[in-house]
Structure 1
Amino acid sequence: MGRTVVIGAGLGGLAAAMRLAAAGRDVTVVEARDAPGGCCGSARLGPYRFDTGPSVLTMPDVLAGAFAAAGEDMDDWLPLRRLDPYYRLRYHDGSHLDVVAGEEAMAEEVRRLCGPAEADRYRRFRARLAELFAAEWPAFIDRDMTRLRDLAGPAALLRMARLAALGGFRRLDRLVGAHLTDPRLVKAHTFQALYVGLSPRQALGVYAVIAHMDTVGGVYFPRGGGMHAIPQAMAAVAEKAGARLRYGVRAVRVETGASGVSGVRLDTGERLPADSVVVACDLPHAHAGLLPRGAGDWRLRRPRYSPSCLVLHFGLDRRLPGQAHHTLHFGADWHSSFAALARGRPQPDPNLLVTYPESDGEAAPAGHATLTVLEPAPNLAHGRWDGLTPRLEERLLARLAGLGYGDLSGAPRITFDPPGWARLGHSAGTPFALDHRFRQTAWFRPAGAARRVPGLHFAGMYTAPGVGVPPVLISGRLAAERILEAGR
């Protein structure tokens, strides 16, 4: 049924490889690193192991669909557990909100923090989120929106009208603020704008579906092996389906012939013949030399990147009783944090995501634990970073001590900063790709296939649906479906 080379063994590339191999295609995945995962990677420091990529897994059915397409049950390869709470949100005034499963339990949490009137408003808003999700998911997220024909016609216009009626084209902060009055609850349903690289004042209301995905749908975690267990299981299933995975080799050129894609040249000098290619790596870097002439995309002429992050991974010689898996610590001035990032500056009073994967018994020795702290930071497209890392690390250590985590200055740690992300191959020093402003959403996001190079397809964060584990998995599925539909 044809030969496909997938460049990059991240989640998007593996999702495509699993489907294509199961459909009978001759599939080879080439990965420059020595293990699968891409952004969903892993690092070790002595006896400690850290997830170096996404820490939040929502919509597990999307992941299960990749396994099912290869004829496998995800639970046999990657059992998951639902976190409880999904998040713990800690506010500057000392109050906190646990985001928990079930409408009744969550309404009770809101009642405890904000009072009965806000709990009633929350119930109505939760119903609105469900409506928005039902209208948006099948029409705009779970389908190929990089083709113009999918935005045309009466059905598409009806879908647009439905989203508009639900407030999807309002600004996110205004949509949420029209339903909820307590600023703490508003933050609980708008901080997700950071996932798409924007402030709640910039992001469209359609991105309220992210709040639905994690505050209603739930947040999950592998029962063993951390988040890196996800690509490991996907790679194993792809190989079982017949795909060949080659690590430690780099694709240096996609070659073409009279009818489109013809092969991929590796840094070893070897040439892999191919009828189709899925490029599932950093797209701006790919356009800098990997891709053939004719593969250019006008949507990347003036890319706008998401903010980056400063991440500290700590190895602890103790456990933290009562600590939630995910804790968000909000700074005092909500809006100034986003404004600073937009100006290319560090947040003056940063919002922090603290991840404590206590249930991952393989991440640390008995009686020990790991702790990961993420602070959003400007990307390198905004200017110089020189000298910032030591100062921000010192400030972050002091902030963590003040939040009750103790003195972590002597704990073993690994630091990832924007220059470090750039050295790992992330354009503009951000692992979050392009932001999701309107001009970089759906059809306006880089296309899933090169119009002038038949057989050349794309998957990953840079194409639609966009950033996040479920969207990246969907992008891989869409690439595979296009290839199988074309029959190349």
Structure 2
Amino acid sequence: MKRVVVVGAGLGGLSAACHLAGAGHQVTVVERHAHPGGRAGRLTRDGFSFDTGPTVLTMPDLVAEAFHAVGAEMDEHVRLRPLDPAYRANFADGSTIHVRHGREAMAAEIREQCGPGDEEAFHRFCAWLERLYQLEMPKFIARNYDHPWDLARPIQPAIALLKLRALGKLANAVKRYFRDERLQRLFSFQAMYAGLAPQEALAIFAVITYMDSVAGVYFPDGGIAAVPHAMAAAAEKAGVEFRYNAPVRQVLHDSDVRGVQLVDGETIEADAVVVNADLPGAYDLLPKLTLPRPLRSPEFSPSALVWHVGVRGLPPDDVAHHNIHFAAEWESSFRSLLRDGRMMPDPSVLVSVPSRTDPSLAPPGDSTLYVLEPVPNLAAGKVDWSRERDASRERLAARLETWGYPTDVVAEELVDPHDWARQGMGAGTPFSMSHRFFQSGPFRPSNLDRRVRGLVFVGTGTVPGVGVPMVLVSGKLAAERVNAL
């Protein structure tokens, strides 16, 4: 048994705490806020409740795995409902395609909207995605790397990846299956979660499409923030100690971890420290260490302008929980965002209406909206947010009205890249470093800093990467590192 301090009660830190406690360690979680959640937080205002971080939850089995680690059942702590449709995709030509829950239902939707040729292609596409996921998850995603050549050790999975044409471009891979351009967009936009355009992302990232559009999207009663609260409750019941309102000043170490010092001066001794702060900012807690090479000039993902809106009234009946409004422009918009560092001239926008699924998130007869537009990060962007902030809010409001959403605003919160930066997120993006090839797998910043024995990292900035499923896996990988000390 080791004494382990986990710094930060985000989803990665909570996953690590559950897996560490399940392995028999003495675990203390220190969190600067008054509650768990980290990036998956909650904002309550005038009777409206908003999820301030991720809004799309996939792969519930990974959530359940963290509960199982501490001998708990997920369903006893939080209820996840499958969303059907997972998305309502709206296109510039006025057409709509629903991403249905379950393969047969989605195949029927494609047959109706796109024809039998693309329906047949969907079944082949799902079979390819399934093979890709079954290969990638155990062999390349849910594993710790010590050297770059671990990618090809053992060699058989790497050969299988090549045979699946997974190192080509994602956009091209999707085009091989579907003739309808709408489906090409619908099954490749997920590359944006990895900070890349579909035209530049490798086909290996089709596993995100599998998680998102094939395995299904879920929503917890009480919103996404209910998940970290439930995980913390299960971990605490299993013996994990939680210290809230306890910001950390620094991690204490020489060649070995000694513990952490809180801002109030208290010292907590430990044999290992798992840091859930966002990389590279986590090194602010390690003033004796210089940044490792992968963190000295990282390439960050685009950021997001997020508008949390509480409005009077309900949306039309055809509005789903998640609604994607695809713009007419596609490749040129990505060039503006990713190459030129400018606002998309014709952006695609996500509008989520969580109160559609859980009416308790808004007063009776009202609605909670979450509106997201991709925008440049602060490192590569050329946007003057002192001018753009209010103008963007007005443009989003006009779009909501055009699309038929209620717009009588009662409560609101607008989050731009500077707000993300104030929360400690590098380059003002909640999506961390992009997943270009040399920032993925063994090339992504390690969850170990070998200069200090017992120092481990967890979260979006380390392996395996960005997204709720990946962060939950990162907690398990961090626990494996501690177990091996």
TM-score of the pair, normalised by structure 1: 0.96
Counterpart residue number, 1:44 = 44
Gap change, CA 1:159 and 1:292, over 3 Å in 2: farther
Give the Å deviation of 1:124.
Answer: 1.5
- Secondary structure, aligned partner of 1:372: strand
Q: Indicate the SS of the match to 2:320.
A: coil
Q: Does the C-alpha gap of structure 1 residues 152 and 185 become closer, same or farther in structure 2, counting only changes over 3 Å? A: closer
CA distance in 2 between partners of 1:241 and 1:463 (Å): 27
Structure 1 residue runs of 5 or longer lacking an equivalent are none
**Residue aligning to 2:184:** 186
1:302-333: per-residue Cα shift (whole Å, max 9, x none)? 11111111111111222223321111000110
Show the 5 A alignment for 1:34-113.
34-113=34-113
Q: Is the 8 A contact 2:248 2:260 kept in 1?
A: yes
Partner residue of 2:245?
248
Q: What is residue 227 of structure 1 aligned with on the other side?
A: 224
Q: CA separation in 1, counterparts of 2:116 and 2:148?
A: 47
Cα pair 2:254 2:452 within 8 Å, conserved: no
Shift of 1:241: 1.3
**Residues in 1 aligned to 2:250 and 2:459: alpha-carbon distance in whole angstroms:** 19
Code of the aligned partner of 1:108: A
Identity %: 48
Q: Which amino acid aligns with 1:18?
A: C
Give the drift of 1:44: 1.3
Partners of 1:314 and 1:296 in 2: how far apart?
A: 39
Question: Shift in Å at residue 149 of structure 1?
Answer: 6.2
What one-letter code is carried by the residue in structure 2 that aligns with 1:344?
A: G
State how far apart, in whole Å, the 1-side matches of 2:290 and 2:5 are: 17
Match of 2:470 in 1: 471
* 1:415 partner SS: strand
Q: CA deviation at 1:146?
A: 5.3
In structure 1, C-alpha distance between the alignment counterparts of 2:288 and 2:139, rounded to whole Å: 33
1:454, 1:242 → 2: CA distance?
Answer: 25
Give the Å deviation of 1:295: 6.5
How far did 1:294 drift?
4.5
| 1:268 equivalent in structure 2 | 264
1:4 is matched with 4
The match for 1:302 is 297
- The answer to whether the 8 Å contact 1:295/1:452 transfers is no
Q: What's 2:29 paired with?
A: 29
Residue in structure 2 matched with residue 203 of structure 1 by the alignment:
201
The correspondence of residues 435-450 of structure 1 with structure 2, limited to 5 A, is 435-450=434-449
Aligned residue in 1 for 2:418: 419
- C-alpha displacement at 1:108, in angstroms? 1.5
1:148 Cα deviation after fit: 4.3
Matches within 5 A, 1:387-406: 387-406=387-406
- Quote how far apart the aligned CAs of 1:21 are: 2.1
Residue correspondence of structure 1 range 276-287 to structure 2 within 5 A? 276-287=272-283
1:319 aligns with 2:317: no
- Alpha-carbon separation, structure 2, partners of 1:371 and 1:407: 10
> Aligned partners of 1:39 and 1:467: how far apart in 2?
12
- The secondary structure found in structure 1 opposite 2:386 is coil
Deviations 1:11-51 (A, max 9, x none): 00011111222333221111111211010001011111100
AA aligned to 1:460 is: G
Q: CA deviation at 1:172?
A: 0.7
Matches within 5 A, 1:101-250: 101-145=101-145, 147-148=147-148, 150-153=150-153, 155=154, 157-222=155-220, 224-250=221-247
CA distance in 1, matches of 2:148, 2:197: 28
Could you tell which deviates more after superposition, 142-151 or 432-441?
A: 142-151
Whole-angstrom distance in 1 between the partners of 2:292 and 2:181:
41
Aligned to 2:285: 290
How far has the Cα of 1:359 moved from its partner? 2.2
Task: Output one character per residue of 1:243-281: Cα deviation in whole Å (capped at 9) or x when no partner.
Answer: 1111112111111135x1011111001111111000111
Instruction: Assess, with a 3 A threshold, how the Cα gap between structure 1 residues 454 and 149 changes in structure 2: closer, same or farther.
Output: farther
The answer to whether the Cα contact below 8 Å between 1:295 and 1:453 also exists between their aligned partners in 2 is: no
User: Shift of the alpha carbon at 1:283?
Assistant: 1.5
1:441-484 deviation line (CA, Å, top 9, x unaligned): 00010001111111000100000110000100010111111111
CA distance in 2, matches of 1:468, 1:117: 32
**2-side partners of 1:145 and 1:362: how far apart?**
43
Q: Residue 45 of structure 1 contacts residue 414 of structure 1 at CA under 8 Å; is this kept in 2?
A: no
Q: CA deviation at 1:152?
A: 4.5
Following TM superposition, by how much is the alpha carbon of 1:122 offset from its aligned partner in structure 2, in angstroms?
A: 1.9
CA distance in 1, matches of 2:110, 2:260: 55
Q: Which amino acid aligns with 1:480?
A: A
Greater CA drift, 194-203 or 334-343: 334-343
Which residue does 1:378 correspond to in 2?
376
Question: Residues 407 and 234 of structure 1: is their aligned pair in 2 closer, same or farther, counting only changes over 3 Å?
Answer: closer
Structure 2 segments unaligned to the other structure (5+ residues): none
* Paired amino acid for 1:42: R
Partner of residue 330, structure 2: 334
Distance 2:392 2:366 in 1: 26
Tell me the alpha carbon deviations over residues 270-302 of structure 1, each in whole angstroms, 9 at most, x when there is no partner.
111111000111121122x31253463211121
Count of paired positions: 480
2 CA distance for matches of 1:359 and 1:257? 51
On the 8 A contact 1:147/1:447 being kept in 2, the answer is no
> 2:102·2:216 contact (CA, 8 Å) conserved in 1?
no
For 2:38 and 2:146, locate their aligned partners in 1 and report how far apart those are by CA, in whole Å.
23
RMSD of equivalent CA atoms = 1.4
- Asked if 2 retains the 8 angstrom alpha-carbon contact of 1:256 and 1:292, the reply is no
